[in-house]
Amino acid sequence: MSRHIETETRSGPRYLVSFEVRAEWDDADGSHVVVQGTTENVGPEGTLVHLPRQLPNVGSTVRLEVAGEDGQKLQVIAEVLRIERNPGHPLAALQVLGETNEWKGLIWEPAAPRISAPPVPVEDEDDDEEDDDFAN
């Protein structure tokens, strides 16, 4: 029986977030392609993007512009790691090349879920009096 072992190559958690993106690349036939899309999730070194019109080829280089949470735009160069040609929801997995510190600071870290502490219950003075009545 053969075994297939996959190694997890992600360098950190991915956060589900929808940022607007603009992707540009040169196609195999030499034409320049520009498409708009959205992120599905972002990680510390890459993203999964939904590009509804056209997908780049695996291994190609894409110039990606991402509008972060505060509207600030970051331009990076990314490599296409894989694509999913689902007709209803085509996706491209991109790995950022070079600008990972800017990516982490402007895109990945702000996308992290914000969990606030649960509210501290405020004791009502009337409740204390009722408890005293039951104790007697």
DSSP letters along 51-86, please?
-SS--PPTT-EEEEEEE-TTS-EEEEEEEEEEEE--
- Please, what sign has the CA dihedral across residues 117, 121, 122, 123? negative
Q: Within a domain: residue 49?
A: yes
**Domain count of the fold of the chain:** 1
Q: Within a domain: residue 118?
A: no
CB 74 within 8 A of CB 106: yes
Please tell me the predicted confidence (pLDDT) of residue 4: 37
Q: Within a domain: residue 122?
A: no
Positions in the chain whose pLDDT score sits under 70: 1-11, 116-117, 124-136
Q: Within a domain: residue 87?
A: yes
Q: How many CA atoms, within 13 angstroms, populate the side-chain half-sphere of residue 80?
A: 22
Q: Within a domain: residue 7?
A: no
Tokens read off for 76: 């990076």
User: For residue 47, which amino acid is it?
Assistant: T
What are phi and psi for residue 104, nearest 5 degrees? -60, -45
Range(s) of the domain holding residue 95: 15-111
pLDDT one-digit tens code per residue, 69-99 = 888 899 999 999 999 999 899 999 999 998 7
SS3 96: strand
Q: Within a domain: residue 117?
A: no
CATH number at residue 36: 2.40.10.220
Q: Within a domain: residue 6?
A: no
Please tell me the predicted confidence (pLDDT) of residue 2: 40
Q: Within a domain: residue 119?
A: no
Cα(90)–Cα(23) distance, rounded to whole angstroms?
A: 14
Name the burial class of residue 24, with classes exposed (0-12), middle (13-18) and buried (19+) by CB atoms within 10 angstroms of its CB.
middle
